[in-house]
Amino acid sequence: MGVDIAVIDYGMGNLRSVSKALEHVAPAASVAVTADPDVILNAGRVVFPGVGAMGDCMHELRERGLIEVVRQAAASKPFLGICLGMQMLFEHSEEGDVAGLGILPGRVLRFPNEAMHDNAGSRLKVPHMGWNEVHQAVPHPMWGGIVDGARFYFVHSYYVEAGNPDMVSAFTLYPFPFTSAVASNNIFAVQFHPEKSQAAGLALLGNFVTWDGNISANQCDTFNTHCSL
């Protein structure tokens, strides 16, 4: 029998903090930090975290034989990508000019220097680091119990430009709107770190451990009373 939640271990990522947060919101669930393909593919749901450089992460996935494992998991069960784990789902990144997993259409871009100033003309720092508001673009069970505009914790210099606007589940301003969450079938992925985002982050992780990877009118009513499909 497989574990309830597999956190993919490819040598990079906040694995301990992610697994501890999941254990906190789902104390009865079995959580495994693992690089074992069989454990990952037999898990009930999968979390794909990531920090660092895109090229390094893709290299480590390849060295551990996990490229196809991630693709299979993302095609078959509730799947949560976090930070670089979101970016790697896409086709290409400017960071190192490297190919991603190509699971979702789109590319990863660096915050452009010429745009990094606020309304008063003050320079904004890159990486984008700290708390910022997440504006929900479309209803989804993963947003259940989380107010629109809730603040989450970010650390990143690159952002996703989704190839399909319909998959954008949330956006954040820095200073322009960038995609901070995407949803596609059984995949939900976020640019921020829910494991570092206190109550809102724990609420999102709690939603993940009960989400079955689908969205329906009934689920919408259960998770979010203002949902309309």
Kindly name the residue from 128, 140, 156, 193 that is annotated as catalytic: 193
Distance CA 61, CA 38 (A): 15
Digit-coded pLDDT (tens) for 99-150: 999 999 999 999 999 999 999 999 999 999 999 999 999 999 999 999 999 9
Kindly name the residue from 128, 195, 220, 227 that is annotated as catalytic: 195
Is the backbone peptide bond immediately before 175 cis, with ω within 30 degrees of 0?
A: yes
Digit-coded pLDDT (tens) for 157-170: 999 999 999 999 99
- pTM of the predicted structure, to 2 decimals: 0.93
SS3 123: strand
Kind and range of the H or E run holding 156: strand 151-156
Distance CA 50, CA 155 (A): 11
Q: What is the pLDDT along the chain (229 residues), one digit of tens a residue?
A: 689 999 999 987 678 899 999 999 999 999 999 999 999 999 999 999 988 899 999 999 999 999 999 999 999 999 999 999 999 999 999 999 999 999 999 999 999 999 999 999 999 999 999 999 999 999 999 999 999 999 999 999 999 999 999 999 999 999 999 999 999 999 999 999 999 999 999 999 999 999 999 875 334 443 343 333 3
Is 114 designated active site? no
